Amino acid sequence: MQRMKTDFLVIGAGSGGLSVAAGAAQMGAKVVLLEPGEMGGDCLNYGCVPSKALIASASRAHRMAHAEAFGVADVAPQVDYAAAQAHVAETIARIAPMDSQERFEGFGVTVIREAGRFVSPTEVQAGAHVIAARRIVIATGSSPFVPPIPGLSDVPYLTNETLWQLRERPGHLLVIGGGPIGLEMAQAHRRLGSEVTVIEAQRALGREDPELAAIVLEELRAEGVTILEDTQARTVRGQGGAIEVETADGAVHRGTHLLVAVGRRPNIDGLGLDAAGIETAQAGIAVDEGLRTTNRRVYAIGDVSGGPQFTHVAGYHAGLVVRNALFGLPVKVKPQILPRATYTAPELAQVGLTETEARRIHGDRLEVIRLPYQHNDRAIAMRQSAGLLKVMVVKGRPVGASMAGAQAGELIGLWALALSARLKMSDIAGMVVPYPTIGELNKRLAGTYFSPRLFENETVKKVVGLVQRWLP
């Protein structure tokens, strides 16, 4: 058994783990990184990157079939599903060098391609190595949760980890789960020519503002995606190419392929957490506001820490841990500044409080400012004017922003900055935005907040009148 000592031991080479390893190593710390699987983790290999690549292929097909309104004849796209999946693989391959073992070894990181298991509060065994570390970061991410539906284990089913192995387009894709992953893949496959049925036990996009979720669901249904809400999958049966999902109402839904997308579970099995004195919670490893576990030498970041399961959140966590562990600076996770986006068309995005949450917390002090996309010239020109922005404001400062529409995932960034930097609505209203852009929506919404204060205020009108009489 080979024994090693290091300043930092990072378990998991996904987004969060790689960020910690790179940051710590480049600032002079000795770092060991453990990863038994693919470098880059879920985001690069199974999640964010491949899904957005397939969505891009689907978007091209959709544009070809819906070009007439722009003066271009509609064309039935000839979809080569295997080629679309090759585009996915090429996208992963182009990004992979940024997450490669060679690149991180170039930073001075010792990379060991083995799983890690705690053998003491300060030691982890990985293959033939026992590593003693001053600080340990658990960044093992999450995996698809497979619900205990009777019969499911007896039929071939897909998850976001295995979907990318397909080379033949599904004739009829059944999707269990109406969350972001399920609906993104449902729309993408519908646009690529598959029939699609989504089966959701509760409300589709149930975490999101219902008014904005309805905009997205309406578009998906208009494109031909069947979305069944409040419909529980009771049993699954069949074989490859002929799968049946029977729901609690007795209906039987038939398809050629089945995608299970009902959520994710933290990767904590096999870590030997008990040996390190690390406690778990229902959603993952228990951490404090600074991401420390019940073992003060050990941090948990990203999906495994039980918070929002997004790549950018893991990166945010990584930055906090590096600040605290390297420099001793106090850090605290701020959930209210963490945005999220669903990459359907139209997109759906959120940061801070939803309207429902804001009303519960702030009551009568809350103002909800609304702006439909139909007032944006660029959206009209692109025929993407279905959408709505809502910003929740208390005493002149935004406390949340919700939006559904074209480029919502891009627009939300400004409001994430506003919440992080505690900007006022006047700061947003004072910026200058190129015309015509979708980004004008943010500025115009801020202007909408001030309009009644300026144009419907009798005091303002009297002041203007006085000034005009005295001006030369």
pLDDT, tens digit (0-9, with 9 covering 90-100), for 394-433: 999 999 999 999 999 999 999 999 999 999 999 999 999 9
Q: pLDDT-derived band of residue 307, with 50, 70 and 90 as boundaries? A: confident
Per the DSSP assignment, residues forming a β-bridge with 285 are 280
337-455 has which fold?
A: Enolase-like; domain 1 (3.30.390)
DSSP letters for 306-355: TS---HHHHHHHHHHHHHHHHH-------GGG--EEE-SSSEEEEEE--H
Q: Are strands 31-34 and 280-281 parallel, antiparallel or unpaired?
A: unpaired
Domain map (residue ranges) of the chain: 2-39+100-144+265-333, 152-262, 337-455
> Exposed, middle or buried by CB within 10 Å (0-12, 13-18, 19+), for 453?
exposed
Is 413 annotated among the ligand-binding residues?
A: no
Q: What's the whole-number mean pLDDT along residues 163-169?
A: 97
Same fold, 2-39+100-144+265-333 and 152-262: yes
Is 170 annotated among the ligand-binding residues?
A: no
Q: What are phi and psi of 347, to 5 degrees?
A: -80, 165
Answer whether residue 11 shows pLDDT above 80: yes
Please say whether the beta carbons of 264 and 283 come within 8 A: no
| CA separation for the pair 225, 202 (Å, rounded) | 17
pLDDT on residue 454: 55
Q: What are phi and psi of 58, to 5 degrees?
A: -65, -35
Answer whether residue 458 shows pLDDT above 70: no
Secondary structure (3-state) at 85: helix
pLDDT digits (tens, 9 = 90+) for 335-364: 999 999 999 999 999 999 999 999 999 999
Answer whether residue 459 shows pLDDT above 70: no
Secondary structure (3-state) at 259: strand
Q: What percentage of the chain carries pLDDT values higher than 70?
A: 96
Is 161 annotated among the ligand-binding residues?
A: no
pLDDT on residue 470: 73
CATH H-level superfamily of 2-39+100-144+265-333: FAD/NAD(P)-binding domain (3.50.50.60)
Q: What are phi and psi of 398, to 5 degrees?
A: -70, 140
Maximal CA-CA distance, the chain: 90
- Length of the chain, in residues: 472
In 263-314, beta strands by DSSP E: 264-266, 280-281, 284-285, 298-300
Answer whether residue 455 shows pLDDT above 60: no
Q: pLDDT-derived band of residue 183, with 50, 70 and 90 as boundaries? A: very high
| CA separation for the pair 33, 126 (Å, rounded) | 10
Answer whether residue 243 shows pLDDT above 80: yes
Is 7 annotated among the ligand-binding residues?
A: no
- Structure-token match 């986006």, residue found: 341
Is 116 annotated among the ligand-binding residues?
A: yes
Is 437 annotated among the ligand-binding residues?
A: no
Instruction: Give the mean pLDDT of the chain.
Output: 95
Instruction: End-to-end CA distance of the chain: give it in Å, rounded.
Output: 90
Tokens matching residue 290: 């600074």
Tokens matching residue 22: 């790179």
Whole-prediction pTM: 0.94
Please say whether the beta carbons of 401 and 392 come within 8 A: yes
Is 220 annotated among the ligand-binding residues?
A: no
| CA separation for the pair 406, 384 (Å, rounded) | 6
Is 352 annotated among the ligand-binding residues?
A: no
Please say whether the beta carbons of 47 and 171 come within 8 A: no
Per the DSSP assignment, residues forming a β-bridge with 371 are 389
Q: pLDDT-derived band of residue 456, with 50, 70 and 90 as boundaries? A: low
Q: What's the whole-number mean pLDDT along residues 152-171?
A: 97
Answer whether residue 24 shows pLDDT above 80: yes
Is 199 annotated among the ligand-binding residues?
A: no
Answer whether residue 467 shows pLDDT above 90: no
Whole-number Cα distances in Å, 221 to 104, 163, 218, 387: 45, 23, 5, 16
pLDDT digits (tens, 9 = 90+) for 38-94: 999 999 999 999 999 999 999 999 999 999 999 999 999 999 999 999 999 999 999
pLDDT on residue 450: 86
Please say whether the beta carbons of 52 and 104 come within 8 A: no
Is 140 annotated among the ligand-binding residues?
A: yes
Whole-number Cα distances in Å, 17 to 11, 24, 40, 247, 294: 7, 11, 9, 40, 19
Q: What are phi and psi of 382, to 5 degrees?
A: -90, 0
Is 263 annotated among the ligand-binding residues?
A: yes
Answer whether residue 210 shows pLDDT above 60: yes
Is 200 annotated among the ligand-binding residues?
A: yes
Q: pLDDT-derived band of residue 471, with 50, 70 and 90 as boundaries? A: confident
Is 52 annotated among the ligand-binding residues?
A: yes
Q: What percentage of the chain carries pLDDT values higher than 90?
A: 93
Q: What's the whole-number mean pLDDT along residues 217-234?
A: 98
Going by CATH, does the domain composed of 152-262 fall within 3.40.50.2000? no
pLDDT on residue 348: 98
Is 303 annotated among the ligand-binding residues?
A: yes
Whole-number Cα distances in Å, 61 to 150, 188, 204, 405: 37, 10, 25, 20
Is 38 annotated among the ligand-binding residues?
A: no
Q: pLDDT-derived band of residue 138, with 50, 70 and 90 as boundaries? A: very high
| Higher per-residue pLDDT: 463 or 19 | 19
Is 142 annotated among the ligand-binding residues?
A: yes
